[in-house]
Structure 1
Amino acid sequence: MEQPNASPHATAIPSTGRKLVVVGIGVMFAIHTFLVTVWVMPANPFRDAVGGQNLMSYINNGILPFEQSWSVFAPTPRRGGENVKVRAYIGEPGSKTGRVTNWYDVTADEDQRIKYLVNPARIHSATRRLGGNINSSVAQFSPQQRTVIGASFITTPRTELKKMLLADNTKGLAGQINIGSYLDNDEMLTRFGTMYATARWGKGVTAVEFKVGHRSVPNYSKRNDIDFKDVPFTYYDIGVRKAIPGNADAQAAFDGYVRKAPEESATKGGS
């Protein structure tokens, strides 16, 4: 019986040697991808098992002909960290019956909660987003404007805060836009802080106060000499703000999430 002619489009079956080379490259690529993924992850059991120093040695001094910095994954990566602290005024601020809670580091608490979570809930990043937005605006403020935002606005309406910031504006339209952005985030931070403080310290929160911090990532060339966590925060004082309570559903969500405060000695008289 006559054999049919081979198709001119037929592909030759690769040799065993070529198959082994392709499989070997694929395995190496898979291992490399896994190690790079673990390297860029936050602290988690997989990273701890491999070893942070082992990962750094592989990425920077291993088989690669170049160092894989963050720019490989994001042309404009975050170059710093944000931090938000809050304290609450319980009862009438300044009165003999009122009291002030101790400062509480909300961001540090969130860091503990997400330590081993690969995909944390969005609530865990709320303070960082608010803190980052606040810091971006305040960094453009003049010293006079920074003094204004550090003042107390309990009985004074928020409209006065806007007027005072505009009065010290020296950057024209750009400054006005920045002030508008700051005021929006100041209000959101106050709402967030009110519900957070109520969930932590109980009912009766009449005002909240904040410290919003920022620290910059050390230069990549100093990565082996300075740990990011050892860089101190630079804080902006966001003065006392009249509480802005949330609705019942929003407060219930905070109540079920925020850790209750232990018994603490609070300052009397709202000072």
Structure 2
Amino acid sequence: MEEPKASQHATPIPSIGRRLVIVGIGVVFAIHTALITIWIQPPNPFRDAVGGENLYGYINNDVFPFEQSWSVFAPTPRRGGENVKLRAYYGLPGSDDSRVTEWYDITAEEDQRIKYLVNPSRFHSATRRLGGNINSTVGQFNKRQRILIGGSLITSPRSKLRQLLEQGNTKGLQGKANIDQYIDNDEMLTRFGTMYANARWGKGVSAVEFQVGHRSVPNYSRRNEENFLDVPFTYYRIGVRKALPGNADAQAAFDGYVRKAPKSTKGGE
């Protein structure tokens, strides 16, 4: 009988040398994966067994460090944080019978409320979005324009502020577009602040005032030396603005959400 011919689709068995190389690569990959997994985990017995210094030395070696900035994965990651502080006036600001509340950090309050929440509502991000929009425009203003937005806007219309900002514009069409965007955000922030103030300190708010802050994420090279939460905010002052109440449904939503201020802090700084 003739011996059967080998199938033309048969795969030749790799040599011992090639098999050893493949096994070696697999072992190295498995160890590397295990070390990366231990590195990103919170303190645990495996991390203690490997040794924190040994682990850090491997991950951040001088030849090929494995820890990378988030910018590797996100082309335009957020590079900072926003903050909005609010205070409210009752009566005509500056008059003898007017009352003003203490400054209240809305963003810090929201941060506490969303702590440990896996899926917070969009309401929680409203101040941060408004603060970010304000900062993106005010950051492009010159010194004169920043002084203007820090002034009061009680009796004059917002169009007057626009006119003054345009007179101080030094950036042509780009500067004008920036002013248009700022005016819209100024009005939205004022309306938001009015409803928030009415809900927190009681109805009858006549004017609101803001401090809008920004802080930048420390450079990646200083990630182990500087904590983002320790970076101080740089604030822009948004001067006193005449209250802009919302409709009844919108105010009711704020009333049901915003925490009421202790009675002792309703008036006076």
What TM-score, normalized to structure 2? 0.78
- Counterpart in 2 of 1:264? 264
Alignment of 1:18-37 (within 5 A): none
How many residues in Structure 1 have an aligned counterpart in Structure 2? 252
> Could you tell me how far 1:162 is from its partner in structure 2?
0.6
Give the structure 1 partner of residue 95 of structure 2. 95
Following superposition, the deviation at residue 141 of structure 1 comes to 0.6
Amino acid across the alignment from 1:248: A
Percent of counterpart pairs with the same letter? 66
> Could you tell me how far apart the structure 2 residues matched to 1:146 and 1:249 are?
34
Q: Which runs of 5 or more residues in structure 1 are unaligned?
A: 1-6, 12-17, 39-46
What is the SS of the residue equivalent to 1:111? helix
Q: SS where residue 153 of structure 1 aligns?
A: coil
Structure whose alpha-carbon radius of gyration is higher: 2
Deviations 1:63-86 (A, max 9, x none): 695313212331221111110000
RMSD over aligned CA atoms reads 3.5
| Greater relative CO, 1 or 2 (CA 8 Å, sep 6+) | 1
What does residue 225 of structure 1 align with? Answer: 225
Alignment of 1:39-54 (within 5 A): none
Residues 68 and 88 (structure 1 numbering): CA distance in 2 closer, same or farther, change over 3 Å? same
Q: Give the AA of the match of 2:198.
A: T
With over 3 angstroms needed to count, the CA separation of the structure-2 counterparts of 1:63 and 1:138, relative to structure 1, is: closer
CA contact (8 A) 2:35 2:55 kept: no
Per the alignment, residue 189 of structure 2 pairs with 189
Other-structure match for 1:70 = 70
Counterpart-to-counterpart distance in 1, 2:254 and 2:53: 42
Listed as ranges, the matches of 1:1-271 within 5 Å are 66=65, 67-265=67-265
Separation of aligned partners in 1, 2:242 and 2:217: 34
Unmatched tracts of structure 2, length 5 or more: 1-6, 12-21
Matched with 2:17 is none
**Shift in Å, 1:223:** 1.5
CA offset at residue 115 of structure 1?
1.6
Q: Once the two structures are superposed, what CA deviation does each residue of 1:27-65 show, in whole Å capped at 9, x if it has no partner?
A: x979968985x7xxxxxxxx6x879x99x9899655695
